[in-house]
Chains A and B, each alone.
Chain A
């Protein structure tokens, strides 16, 4: 099956710093989604982005499907950005497979 890698596995930032999270996948995908899981367990959809670039406030994401990677950018980080960021990918007609996640801690 498809393999999904995320880097870095852990990240500690000072409030106000910027960061880039990466998701690599081993096969062609039709769907890709970024999630933020907050400390209470809620999985929040950040972007549905099988290709191209999207922006939402301080967050933006880029997927280069032909090179099998996606990037999530967080600018001017806040303590509320802490949690785990998951990339999930789906080959055509198949279920989403989650990467192992990046655990982000933003310090005040």
Chain B
């Protein structure tokens, strides 16, 4: 298995809702990442997990809460989002942090209404 699987592919949520994005990989990678991408911009790093521990938080607002329950799974919990949080959310994994190449999932396109 050489894929990173993200669900759901599309999500529409209200500003008072709570939702979660899910990311899964079975390549034995020990680093996992959340990126946010706005239209016509490159992906921007949000969080890095290395060996299931949060190692980087790029000053992301607390309405985004990451979780890494095990080495294969990464979640992003969303609560009280704003319309400007609408974006493509991408998950990636690599063998180790900052090493080798990254494999990206197909993303979740989030719309906050």
Contacts and interface: CB of A to CB of B under 8 A. Distances in A.
Q: How large is the interface on A (under 10, 10 to 19, 20 to 34, 35 or more residues)?
A: 20 to 34
B98 A99 contact: no
B43 A48 contact: no
Nearest to B41: A100
A43 B104 contact: yes
Interface string A1-42: 000000000000000000000000000001101010000111
A42 B102 contact: no
B103 interface: yes
Contacts of B42: 86, 98-101
Interface of A: 30-31, 33, 35, 40-45, 48, 86, 88, 90, 92-96, 98-101
Given A30-B98, A31-B100, A42-B104, 19 more contacts: A31-B101, A33-B101, A33-B102, A41-B37, A41-B88, A41-B107, A43-B104, A45-B102, A88-B102, A90-B98, A94-B98, A95-B45, A95-B56, A95-B97, A95-B98, A96-B98, A98-B42, A98-B44, A99-B42
4 pairs of A and B residues whose beta carbons are closest in the complex: A48-B101, A98-B42, A43-B104, A42-B106
